[in-house]
């Protein structure tokens, strides 16, 4: 390999191979640490990339005066950097109207628990209650926050 152009070509090829190997290794490590969490059982997972969970309001069981609160049971929170988070609760009626019911924040921000939000008499049969995970400060795309929600129920 006395030709400088041939040597440069081999070096470029080796550089690209090394770069691709590093990229593949980093992508695998990222996936292993950030995308494969699961909640187990009947719990549902929300994350900053997929933040919203929904629960239908059965047409036969819910009327506005009957249900005073939405109860959300958060069974697990994975928030290693303890980023301040909140959950926003909305009611979506069948006619497309979206009503803000309220919000709650775990404290410390990795502490699971049972939380309630008042319905304010806004629930109507056939609609949907949504619970959305929100970061309360700017976060980078590499910061992983996810929650496991056991249940979203209506209580008197």
Average pLDDT over residues 108-137: 93
Percent of the chain residues topping a pLDDT of 90: 53
> Is the domain of 21 the same as that of 68?
no
CATH code (residue 85):
2.60.120.260
Question: Over the stretch 1-30, which tens digit does the pLDDT of each residue have?
Answer: 566 666 656 656 555 555 444 454 443 334
Does residue 78 share a domain with residue 14?
Answer: no
Helix, strand or coil, per DSSP, at residue 30? helix
Q: Average per-residue pLDDT in the chain?
A: 81
In 3-state terms the chain splits into helix, strand, coil percentages (rounded to 5) of 20, 35, 45
pTM: 0.73
Q: Are residues 2 and 58 in the same domain?
A: no
Write down the pLDDT at residue 150.
95
Hey, how many other C-beta atoms are within 10 angstroms of the C-beta on 101?
19
3-class DSSP state of 117:
strand
Print the SS3 string covering 51-72.
Answer: CEEEEECCCCCCCCCCCCEEEE
Assess whether 45 and 89 both reside in one domain: yes
The parent domain of residue 4 ranges over 1-36
The answer on 134 and 146 residing in a single domain is yes
Number of domains in the chain: 2
């Amino acid at each position: 390999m006395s030709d400088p152009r041939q040597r440069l070509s081999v070096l470029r090829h080796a550089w690209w191979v090394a770069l691709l190997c590093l990229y593949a290794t980093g992508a695998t490590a990222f996936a292993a640490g950030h995308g494969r969490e699961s909640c187990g059982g009947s719990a549902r997972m929300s994350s900053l990339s997929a933040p919203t969970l929904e629960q239908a309001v059965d047409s036969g069981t819910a009327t506005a005066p009957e249900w005073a609160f939405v109860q959300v049971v958060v069974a697990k929170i994975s928030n290693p950097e303890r980023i301040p988070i909140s959950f926003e609760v909305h009611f979506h009626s069948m006619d497309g109207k979206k009503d803000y019911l309220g919000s709650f924040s775990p404290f410390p921000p990795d502490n699971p628990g049972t939380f309630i939000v008042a319905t304010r008499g806004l629930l109507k049969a056939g609609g949907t209650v949504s619970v959305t995970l929100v970061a309360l400060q700017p976060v980078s795309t590499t910061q992983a926050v996810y929650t496991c929600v056991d249940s979203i129920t209506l209580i008197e």
